[in-house]
Structure 1
Amino acid sequence: MGTDVRVLQQSDWDQWYDNLIRAFGGVPESPEERELWRSLTEIDRSVGVWDGEACVGTAGAFSFRLTVPGGAAVPAAGVTMVSVAATHRRRGVLRSMMRRQLDDVREWGWPLAVLTASEPEIYGRFGYGAATHCVNVEVDTARVRLSVPPGTDDVRLRYAAPADVLDACEAVYARKVPGRPGMPARLPGWERVVVLDPESGRDGASPLQCVVAERAGEVVGYARFRVRPEWDTAGPKGVVAVQDAEALDPAAHAALWRFLFGIDLTSTLTARGRPSDDPWLSMVSDIRRCGLRVRDSLFVRLVDVGAALEARTYQAPVDVVFDVEDDFCGWNAGRWRLTGDAKGASCGRTTDAADLALSVRELGAAYLGGVSLVSLGAAGRVRELRQGALAEAAVGFGSAVAPWLPHGF
């Protein structure tokens, strides 16, 4: 190849990042965006591929702690900023970066690597499985109403500048993290991402707006959104574009979404990347007019099968032997015995006969409890070697709350 994979140096960041921007279309970012991602880049956890003096590949990792079933915050490499120059496609550049990166993650002692995929077919061959899904919506708010729970009218809403209430909103977010698998605890600096508001990202809409929900003077929820005014000969038909919304209880959640549904001079609400079990979806009068579209979100890769399976709990007792295939990280291949319940788990090597055979990709897909092992078995991706083992394991692996990634990275 004539290329060299090496850890990024601070002095090379601009060239490295320019290669990334070009690979994703070449549209320049605002100075504010660029400086933010410069500050968040973990230089010593990022690699580049160089052909002579030219950077032709990029890949980084963020030091995340990811919520798993049971509420534990597990160290995970948030794989990010992956690109290959168009001049160097199909020359092993991506594979060399994935190899270096997963070896590094193992050395760091982190059991998981996670990513969002620009093209989902790319990462399966490296052992990543689609573990969470989200919904995008386009609601006809002129015809859809919400049925709200008791106490909704007791919640006070007020407008606030997003930056002025950022700490209070982040406190709400932090309280939500342990309760939903797939949510990362936000590291210092990441609070700036959610209020980043370059004009280039508004698509004709207003600057970012924020409303907070309060009860007894305490912030119990928030919504950040933009409004795009539109008119035709019949009158106003503006769009409310919801960026994010979190609340600590049903009444606060309902109050925020009722507000968003009812903003004056609008008739459409859009939101992207919402959880598949978002409570307001059960409040609407007509789900068919909500334009739901489901898509993949977070991909999970078990870097250390034993440590990863021990890190979470199981909603029903499990005692199962997996025969794991892992061609890319051979240290995971072989038989593992998992025993666990809602209190904890253990997982170690075994010579016992296998109950289920699958690849590490399927384990990653099922890991957060949002993808059923039974459904993977029906697709031929999990083989049942002991009758009844598939259903038993599937129940244990499930999650009462749908796993969800609230933002990209």
Structure 2
Amino acid sequence: MPEQGPDLGFRRVAEIDLDSVIVDALRARLPHVAEQTVAAVTIEVPSYAGAFAGRMGETIQNAVRLALGTFLHWVARPEHSDSNATLAPAVEGAYQLGRGEARDGRSMDALLSAYRVGARVSWREMSATAVDADLPAATIAKFAELVFAFIDELSAASLSGHADELATSGRVRQRYLDKLSQNILAGETSEVLQASAERAGWPPPTTLTAILLPAAQARNVASRFGPETLQVVEDLPGIDASEAVALLLVPDVGAHDRPELMRVVAGMRAVVGPARDWMQAASSYRRVLRGRELQPDNNQAVDTDSHLAELVVRADSEALADLRSQVLAPLAELRPATAERLVETLRSWLLHQGQRDKVAADLFVHAQTVRYRMTQIRELYGDRLESPQTILELTVALAVPSTE
């Protein structure tokens, strides 16, 4: 409901001297004025040509007649009228008209044009009656001022209604989008997700890609990928509420688009999941959560698609720790510093398939040092190093550097 308060021009109504004969003559012309107004609007504001056809045209004519009738009632008896109460129905009608325009997806441009046309036509018709009644020129001028002030009041009410409806519908849609995002992350059924998308007015893409990043940078990044990007800033599963992070679910970032995506988030503490069918995007988010373990100390983004082997190895951290302890048991009796050097050498030897020079370059040591260390390792493991199973277990166990 708009805040009602007549324009300052209305305060001059007491200066108008309109006798009942003139008011009755003006009131008698209201049906004609309304008809002429609607006809003019239909011609001069093309977007209303179809809307005003048939029964809708009659409804608009009645609304115009009611508004002008309210105005004449107030002008005729200013000493008996509370201007706010008297004009309230017309102002409320204009307010609701503005809300209706917003609901129909139209801007205020057409409606404001209609008001301008309506003011001109209404005054043309009513001024003719005033002139025929030999009203003094000064009275006609004051009457004109009031007519246009009244139209301005209606325009302002419609603008207020339009803005309120946009704000309200925007908040409602955002709530639906938030619910859709939560349903996606919860892995709801396809029926639930489809209904949720329809309710939010969100056109489903083919895929969604999860991106976890600092909340302060989310809005800017989201704007790079279009208005249908979903944002989640609260109640993120698996993340403490105190963390200032946000999740984006970005539509249709294919393999050829991924380099550009990574360029956008470069220099941010972002983790990017894989592209998934939009109804399966919860798996992209789960990948992001696991990818946080790969986050470097600097502000670099992590592309989980580039760390699949490491993610697989880290999938069961307890099993990995047990495997590492088991396969490194032959080194357990050594001094920690010696054991650490041999583990480092063994890991490089496995990764470089036993090529001594490459191992030496990797460790920044002489090739003879590599030979010496590998002799120690073979003495400790014996012919177990010839077993494919042992090689597999060592490769998996040492694929990820220990975090201990």
Normalising by the residue count of structure 1, what TM-score does the alignment of the two structures yield?
Answer: 0.23
Larger Rg: 2
RCO higher in structure (CA 8 A, sep ≥6):
1
TM-score, structure 2 as length reference: 0.23
Higher helix share: 2
